């Protein structure tokens, strides 16, 4: 995988939500689309955070699951990102289990894709 750029493997069908949506709305969107994480973006498509299944586990453990918590209050805000030109090998932490989803952004911080462990697995199986 040494010379494989992220842009070749990433998914471009993105599931997004605004930070001012409720966690319940985000959960519904994730269920509808079958994803395990959802990108939190501003109106220009710039990444603000990532909401994952683990964020929901933490939310339910710490709160009433029927409350009106906003996505911005429970998302992961300090998100590691990649660019389309990055080498997949340089992102070894993703494959090592530290991350299951890695947003791909352009130089302005606009989300252009998502690289997941599923994308990496498909690539390895297809070799």
Query: What b/e sequence results for 33-51 when a residue is b if at least 16 CB atoms lie within 10 Å of its CB, and e otherwise?
Result: eebebbbbbeeebebbbbb
Taking every pair of Cα atoms in the chain, the longest distance, rounded to a whole number of angstroms, is 47
Extract the tokens encoding 16: 């997004």
How many Å apart are CA 73 and CA 94, to the nearest integer? 25
| Contact present, 10 and 103 (Cβ < 8 Å) | no
Kindly report the pTM of this predicted structure: 0.77
pLDDT values of the chain reduced to their tens digit, one per residue, 127 residues:
457 888 998 889 999 999 999 988 999 999 999 998 999 999 999 999 999 888 888 887 777 656 688 889 888 898 888 899 888 776 665 556 667 888 999 999 999 999 887 887 787 777 6
């Amino acid at each position: 995988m040494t010379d494989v750029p992220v842009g070749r493997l990433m998914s471009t069908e993105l599931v997004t939500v605004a930070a001012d949506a409720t966690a319940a709305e985000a959960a519904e969107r994730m269920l509808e689309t079958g994803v395990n994480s959802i990108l939190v973006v501003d109106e220009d498509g710039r990444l603000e955070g990532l909401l994952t299944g683990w964020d929901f586990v933490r939310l339910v453990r710490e709160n009433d699951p029927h409350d009106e918590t906003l996505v911005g209050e429970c998302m992961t805000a300090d998100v590691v990102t990649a660019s389309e030109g990055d080498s997949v090998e340089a992102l070894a932490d993703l494959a090592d289990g530290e991350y299951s989803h890695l947003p791909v952004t352009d130089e302005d911080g606009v989300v252009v894709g998502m690289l997941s462990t599923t994308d990496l697995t498909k690539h390895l199986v297809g070799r």
